[in-house]
Amino acid sequence: MPADSIQIDSTVKIVTPENIAFRYQLAGPFRRFPAYLIDVAILLTAYVILWCVLMMVLSAALQGAGAAIGAGVGMVIWFLSTWLYGGVFETFMNGQTPGKRIMGIRVLTVNGQPINGLQAIMRNVFRFADTFPLISIQFFAELFPADAADMPPMFFIPTFLVGLFTMTLSKRFQRLGDLVCGTIVVIEERNWLAGIAKLDDPRAPQLASFLPGDFVVPQSMGRALATYVDRRRFFSLARRREVARHLGEPLIELFKLPSDTSHDLLLCALYYRTFVTDRLEEDSPRPVPPPVSNPYDPDKNGTVAGVNYASPLGRG
């Protein structure tokens, strides 16, 4: 990849005013849409229940005029709830609505700070613009010619294409409301710290002690080893051999190990040497290594210093 090109990924790096860098995973339109649908479902359910209760109470209290007043009050409630639902929840739930909480996403400012009430209200007011263009009922009225003549133009079916288009063009998946208010929506990640991977093969620490002490594992190789050791338990044995072979072959050549040394075991040993032994040694006084004649010189049986490191599965 050329140095000047940015890797395409749905993550963004935010540096706070305190010069602390965070990496967030952005929530795009497809991640956000289910949250929106959940919110709409909650809003509709709450509205229907509220409206039914209101109609019953008003009809009982005011009799004839109750239904008309109830309908009017219901429309006012609908207006207020649709325009304020998102804003109020995002203000008091720290950038989340119930739908967003269920989907594990949160609204932040572009600087990674919590949003304020004005931003929460405004970005939800601008949502209407993101639902454009709206399709007229006449599009479907064609299917019902008998009713079409009397059908007034009603634009109520949202296509969300403006929002989709804006979010596609924006590098931070910002819709119009986000662009106006300077907000982004991120995925709340709850990554477990992996720590040191557990090596189930007791031969790995043994082989690690015979790896050359002057071989410094570069940072990128350390990452690659950590990823491999972390993921290898999900691979089949054949796949382990296939994957480990790529780095295992040049390492065997470099360390002058027996040619039938298991590549998988070698990578585990190098991982152990890098992330376990070296760290322990950093924390404690370095012991004097026992004199070993030439631990890297394989004998005829394909062993190093009497320990058989040949893979029971053969070469990868």
Partner 1 sequence: MQLDETRIAVRERGYLDTLDVSLQVFRAYFSPIMQTALLGIVPLMLLNHYLLSWMADVHFSRDIAEVDLSGMFRFSWNMALLVFVQAPLGTMFTTSFIGKAVFLDQPSFREVVEDVWKMAPKLIWCQLLLRGIAPAIALMFLVERYGEYDGVLEGFFLIILALYVAILRAVRPFMNEIVLLERNPLRKKAGSIMTISRRSALLHGPAGGDLFVQALGCVCLAILLTLSLYGTFIFIQGVWLNDWRQGPILLKFCLPFSMWLVATFMAVFRFMSYLGLRIRQEGWEVELNLRAEAARLTKRVGGETA
Q: Which is nearer to partner 1, 60 or 146 (CB)?
A: 146
Pairing between strand 11-15 and 155-158?
Answer: unpaired
Distance from C-alpha of 129 to C-alpha of 159, rounded to nearest angstrom? 11
DSSP 107-167: EEETTSPBP-HHHHHHHHHTHHHHTPSEEETHHHHTT-HHHHTT----EEEE--HHHHHHH
Smallest gap, in angstroms, from Cβ of residue 48 to partner 1?
25
Number of Cβ within a 10 Å radius of residue 236: 8
Smallest gap, in angstroms, from Cβ of residue 52 to partner 1?
31
Q: Which is nearer to partner 1, 26 or 122 (CB)?
A: 26
| Binding site residues, partner 1, CB under 8 A | 1-2, 5, 7-11, 25-31, 34, 133-136, 138-139, 141-143, 145, 148-149, 153, 157, 159-161, 164, 167-169, 173, 187, 218, 220-221, 223-224, 227-228, 231-232, 234-235, 239, 242-244, 246-247, 249-251, 254, 267
Smallest gap, in angstroms, from Cβ of residue 235 to partner 1?
6
Smallest gap, in angstroms, from Cβ of residue 133 to partner 1?
4
Q: Which is nearer to partner 1, 26 or 115 (CB)?
A: 26
Q: Which is nearer to partner 1, 223 or 279 (CB)?
A: 223
Smallest gap, in angstroms, from Cβ of residue 153 to partner 1?
7
110: nearest Cα among 14, 208, 249? 14
For residues 304 and 252, the answer to whether their CB atoms sit within 8 Å is no
Q: Which is nearer to partner 1, 87 or 255 (CB)?
A: 255
The identity of residue 296, as a single letter, is Y
In angstroms, what is the C-alpha Rg of the chain? 32
